[in-house]
Amino acid sequence: MADKNSCAALYHTHEQAEEAVRALQKTAFDVKKISIIGKGYHHEEHPIGFYDTGDRVKFWGVQGVFWDGVRGLLLGAATFWVPGLGPVVMAGPLVTSLVDALKGTVAVAGLSALGAALHSISIPKDSIIHYETALKSNHYLIIVHGDQKEAERAHGVLAASEPIDVVIHLS
């Protein structure tokens, strides 16, 4: 289960999101506490998927390089088809929360499995709706988990990386 406090930032492009993750890494953030979520595709005509040819699981799609790079940086990764959102690719501690939500151990009325996972880390419903809408619009969400001080420190880094929005969520 991820920490209950977090700092969440939305980005227009995967380049901006990757830059933000690297900025966090440069300022000595524990990469095990960073999650990133995005949709796996921009256009329905491109195939997406993941495969394992004996080396390690790799992402197939127009953003394969990005997601494989992110997987190399962060802890854990997953690709799910979430009803209402479509294919969602994520990496980091939030994967555990989403798995719990999909298994039904975390359920919140009126929220999708992804929404329930976000709710389980103290993100309020109105922000969840906002994040889901942004993800549907192919934006990227970075979440830094931790205690209040870590969330505040992350805010300082992420706010400087030109996000659409950056918010501290405290439990």
d(CA 59, CA 105): 28
Using CB under 8 A as the binding criterion, the count of chain residues that bind other proteins stands at 18
168 binds other proteins (CB under 8 A): yes
CB of 140 to other proteins, least distance (A): 15
Strand partners, 138: none
Q: Would you say 113 or 167 has its CB closer to other proteins?
A: 167
Q: For the chain, first and last CA: distance in Å?
A: 14
Task: Using the minimum distance from each CB to other proteins, give the nearer residue, 65 or 159.
Answer: 159
Would you mind telling me the total number of residues written for the chain in this entry? 171
Q: Write out the DSSP string of 114-142.
A: HHHHHHTTT--HHHHHHHHHHHHTT-EEE
With CB under 8 A as the contact rule, which of the stretches 30-38, 73-81, 109-117, 162-170 interacts with other proteins?
162-170
For residue 8, the tally of other CB atoms under 10 A from its CB is: 27
Q: Does 19 bind other proteins (CB under 8 A)?
A: no
Question: Rule CB under 8 A: which of 101-140 touch other proteins?
Answer: 122-127, 130
- Enumerate binding residues for other proteins (CB under 8 A): 122-127, 130, 155, 159, 163-171
